[in-house]
Homo-oligomer: A and B are copies of this chain.
Amino acid sequence: MNTTQDDEIKTELSLAFDRSTLLSRPGFLIRRLHQIHCGLFLEETREFNITPVQYSLMTALNRHGEMDQKSVSLKIGLERTSVAEVIPRLESRGLLQRRQSTEDRRVKLVKLSRKGLYLIKKMEERVQRAHDRTIDKIPQDQRALFMLQLIRLVEANNDVGCAPFSLECTDD
């Protein structure tokens, strides 16, 4: 990054701040971007009637197999009680199955049903498009850096917000 490029960036940035002081607040931009991604996801996958969080939950179950609620929470970075609200909705549509654990009777295990597996396979391409569209306005040669910066922020603050997620294993 040379000085000329840096100056250009700072000029463009201060022009943006003149358009709206909201644009100077990271928290606002992130909230809007979250709305935008949800909108794009919904646009691409409307016919399936599945939300981004529901999709994350189902793909995590597909990858890791049968799990308890707490593990699901860690896999997808979503608060335990939020997970507990999502699961019954998917279960009532026959996309998940639940059973009591035999080893530990506190635990209820969840797994993806055949119907659920079929659904996420059908959705896969559309979901990828939603993710791609979310960042496709960033010049192609800057996209990798942008993703890396997002990852840095998320990993550095994984303990914030009462929904840390497990980085130890591979998730979806």
Contact = CB atoms under 8 A, between A and B. Distances in A.
A161 B36 contact: yes
Contacts of A152: 137-138
Contacts of A12: 148
A62 B134 CA distance: 32
Interface stretch (A39-47, A65-73, A102-110, A112-120): A39-47
Contacts of A147: 13, 24, 26, 29
Contacts of A37: 26-27, 30-31
Contacts of A86: none
Q: How many copies of this protein are present in the complex?
A: 2
A32 B134 contact: no
A172 interface: yes
- Candidate in A33, A152, A169 with the most chain B CB atoms within 10 angstroms: A33
Interface residues of A, number: 70
A17 B29 CA distance: 24
Interface in A57-84: 63, 76-77
Contacts of A150: 26, 29-30, 33
Contacts of A19: 167, 170
Interface string A158-172: 001111010101111
A49 interface: no
Contacts of A155: 16
Interface of A: 1, 6, 9-10, 12-13, 16, 18-41, 43, 52-53, 56, 63, 76-77, 130-131, 134-135, 137-138, 141-142, 144-157, 160-163, 165, 167, 169-172
* 3 interchain residue pairs of minimum CB distance: A39-B161, A137-B156, A35-B161
